[in-house]
Amino acid sequence: MVNAGNANCATGAAGPRRAQRTLAEAAKRLGCAPQEMFVCSTGVIGVPLPLEKILRALPVIVRHRRPSARSFAETSLAICTTDTRPKTAAASFKMAGNGFISSAAPRARG
């Protein structure tokens, strides 16, 4: 679960509760367990996660999700915030005769 524009940190006990609620709702709509997901937030520090806004958007997000290179590129652009360009990485490997691809859109501050 990725959101940009809100770091959801320095928000007290409500921050983790809001993050867990978004995971629970997203997992339910995606047909998986919340433990199979994690939250990635970037943006303004100290501002509460806009829980209701995210919950309202989830049905549309789930309905229009696509496992594509374009979706990955759009996600990496969305989390840029103050970065000047997206950062991405990918690797492929075989394990037990099966092929896997792992990709990431890391966000680094320094």
Residue 48: CA count within 13 A, CB half-sphere: 9
Condensed to tens digits (0 to 9), the pLDDT of residues 83-97 reads 777 777 778 888 888
- The span from the CA of 110 to the CA of 23, in Å, is 28
Using one digit for the tens of pLDDT, what is the confidence trace for 33-80?
999 988 888 888 888 888 899 999 999 989 988 888 888 888 788 777
Identity of residue 44: V
| pTM exceeding 0.95 | no
